[in-house]
Amino acid sequence: MTQDTRHVGPLLGSREGHSVIDCATCGYRHLMPMPTDQEIEDFYKEEFYQNERANYLKEADEDYRWKRVEMIRRLAKAEEFIPHSERTALDVGCGPGDFLAVAKERGWRGKGIEPSDVAASHARARDLDVDTGFFSADTAAILGQYDLVHMGEVLEHVAHPRDVLSLAYGCLKPGGILCVSTPNDFNGFQTVVAGAFERPKWWILPHHHLNYFSCTSLETLFREEGFEPVCRTTNFPMELFLLMGQNYVGNPALGREMHGLRKNLDITLFEQAPELLETFYECLANADLGRLAIVFARKPL
């Protein structure tokens, strides 16, 4: 591990020998000390899907109907800013390919890049165009430019988010759209649960999440990197179940049950009243609430 004395700010919590600070230098919350680039690369190439999330691909298949709703929402929003019909998308850290599958269904031409060969192979088995590798200066240089760059739960895992955003900027056509989603941790609901029930800050995951964003901090970061934020949204705040007395933390079976309830909510609202679903989540996002921070930004023409 390395310690960088340039990073200073209030201590927000600690776990397993790591601290999270609200960094005045970076403008967002992040882990200290930070793992090395090699440690991060080894983890996502060799351990993440194989050991840490061994059930992920099975659960992803089970969740696809719900994930399809989430991806339709993101693609539909991007389409509002990309008026032509022959749209192209790059999915960075595409995992098993859910976003690309829905994009293909909607007529997009998609490309994915994924560090885990297990996940990338799963995506290729779905007849999706996916390369195995990290999103880096070398890979970005040969990927080309796209109307949309999508990063679903990527920026919380990387040591240098600004570098990743710079690469994304280069992979976007002028006027193109960046869509980033990250866990919305240290949000108000979590803070209430941690205080009211004297629970440790369970969302601090030193071996998984290096950075902790909100919609507001993402938008600030995007502006500093040359993007123009255009809208924000979120999805269901799982912490509400904790406030209802359903302590799913550390209880995978109960967590899966609660996840099923939020899936039912999203699917039903999407099928019966999609505008209401969007309004609900946009209102939460505007208050920096919701489980994910999902922010869209545009590269200037």
Cα–Cα distance between 5 and 32 in angstroms, integer?
Answer: 10
Q: Is residue 56 over pLDDT 80?
A: no
- pLDDT greater at residue 7 or residue 54: 7
Mean pLDDT value of segment 236-260: 95
Q: Which tens digit of pLDDT belongs to each residue from 71-125?
A: 999 999 999 999 888 999 999 999 999 999 999 999 999 999 999 999 999 999 9
- pLDDT greater at residue 33 or residue 273: 273
265 closest CA partner among 251, 280, 252, 253: 280
| Structure tokens, 265 | 């909510």
Contact present, 213 and 155 (Cβ < 8 Å): yes
Contact present, 116 and 45 (Cβ < 8 Å): yes
- pLDDT greater at residue 296 or residue 54: 296
Residue with tokens 């992979």: 171
Q: Is residue 261 over pLDDT 80?
A: yes
Looking at residue 46, what is its pLDDT? 61
Q: Which tens digit of pLDDT belongs to each residue from 118-146?
A: 999 999 999 999 999 999 999 999 999 99
Looking at residue 16, what is its pLDDT? 87
- Confidence grade of residue 42 (pLDDT, cut at 50, 70, 90): confident
Domain ranges of the chain: 56-198+212-298
Looking at residue 63, what is its pLDDT? 92
Looking at residue 4, what is its pLDDT? 55
- Confidence grade of residue 49 (pLDDT, cut at 50, 70, 90): low
Q: Which fold has domain 56-198+212-298?
A: Rossmann fold (3.40.50)
Looking at residue 163, what is its pLDDT? 96
Cα–Cα distance between 47 and 56 in angstroms, integer?
Answer: 12
- Confidence grade of residue 51 (pLDDT, cut at 50, 70, 90): low
Cα–Cα distance between 139 and 204 in angstroms, integer?
Answer: 31
Burial 177-191 (b: 16+ CB within 10 A, else e): bbbbbbbbbbbebbe
Contact present, 139 and 15 (Cβ < 8 Å): no
DSSP letters for 78-95: HHHH--SSS-EEEEET-T
- What is the pTM (predicted TM-score) of this model? 0.93
Assign 3-class secondary structure to 10-27.
CEEEEECCEEEEECCCCC
Looking at residue 225, what is its pLDDT? 97
Cα–Cα distance between 300 and 118 in angstroms, integer?
Answer: 36
Contact present, 139 and 113 (Cβ < 8 Å): yes
- pLDDT greater at residue 293 or residue 85: 293
| Structure tokens, 27 | 């403008």
Q: Is residue 2 over pLDDT 50?
A: no
- Confidence grade of residue 52 (pLDDT, cut at 50, 70, 90): low
138 three-state secondary structure: helix
Q: Average pLDDT of the chain?
A: 92
Looking at residue 1, what is its pLDDT? 37
- Confidence grade of residue 197 (pLDDT, cut at 50, 70, 90): confident
Say what percent of the chain tops pLDDT 70.
94
